[in-house]
């Protein structure tokens, strides 16, 4: 699958889950134990906000703290949709140029950066669905693309603290295997109040 298409489709998957968040669900816990629903959405919206300047050649230092804090404002869905659309557009525009992206750990190939973004959108779409009672099923083609890319990076990401410990027992289902590699239990349910 073309990397720009992968990004577009994972962003669409994510945005569909954000649309499904009810007004009383923003404080719910998520599989990401440090984040409730609002913080999880803010994290991914933040990734989209960072995508524009990074894909256009800005450095982390140039961006500074301008994208820190609450980016969602009073209308998280509208903010999320706007920034998602802008991120998809800048990826489609800038990816073919192949210009390096300046990340915190150094310069990165833009296709690699976009695959990182795609994985984050897809896995967090599952997190959001699990937290809010939505359909947790992810597109099998997207799962395959992300899982194939992630297999050689899993231990690097784990060592850097980007994903939790691998969850055992997910051998038969590709989606459950991807979630397990990302430190998630496919059977996770929110704690009951």
Inter-axis angle of helices 3-19 and 110-132, nearest 10: 20
Q: Is 15 helix (H, G, I), strand (E, B) or coil?
A: helix
In the structure, what pLDDT confidence band is assigned to residue 165 with cuts at 50, 70 and 90?
A: confident
Q: Supply the pLDDT for residue 157.
A: 79
Instruction: Calculate mean pLDDT across residues 7-21.
Output: 98
The model's pTM is 0.94
Percentage of the residues of the chain whose pLDDT score is greater than 90: 82
In the structure, what pLDDT confidence band is assigned to residue 7 with cuts at 50, 70 and 90?
A: very high
Structural domains of the chain in order of their starting residue, each with its CATH number: 3-181 (1.20.120.450)
Residue 60 to residue 53: CA distance in whole angstroms: 9
- Using one digit for the tens of pLDDT, what is the confidence trace for 112-149? 999 999 999 999 999 999 999 999 999 999 999 999 99
Q: Supply the pLDDT for residue 164.
A: 79
- Using one digit for the tens of pLDDT, what is the confidence trace for 74-113? 999 999 999 999 999 999 999 999 999 999 888 999 999 9
Q: Half-sphere exposure (CA, 13 Å, Cβ side) for 156?
A: 7
Residue 59 to residue 51: CA distance in whole angstroms: 11
């Amino acid at each position: 699958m073309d990397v720009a298409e992968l990004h577009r489709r994972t962003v669409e998957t994510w945005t569909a889950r954000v649309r499904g968040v009810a007004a009383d669900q923003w404080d719910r816990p998520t599989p990401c134990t440090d984040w409730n629903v609002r913080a999880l959405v803010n994290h991914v919206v933040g990734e989209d906000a960072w995508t524009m300047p990074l894909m256009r050649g800005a450095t982390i230092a140039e961006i500074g703290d301008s994208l820190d804090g609450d980016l969602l404002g009073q209308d998280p869905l509208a903010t999320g949709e706007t920034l998602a659309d802008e991120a998809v557009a800048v990826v489609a525009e800038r990816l073919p140029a192949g210009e390096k992206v300046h990340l915190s750990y150094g310069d990165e190939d833009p296709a690699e950066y976009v695959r990182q973004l795609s994985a984050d959108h897809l896995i967090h779409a599952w997190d959001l669905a699990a937290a809010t009672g939505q359909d947790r099923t992810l597109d099998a083609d997207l799962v395959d693309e992300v899982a194939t890319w992630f297999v050689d990076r899993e231990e690097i990401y784990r060592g850097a603290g980007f994903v939790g410990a691998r969850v055992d027992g997910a051998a038969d289902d590709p989606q459950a295997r991807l979630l397990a590699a990302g430190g998630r239990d496919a059977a996770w349910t929110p704690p009951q109040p």
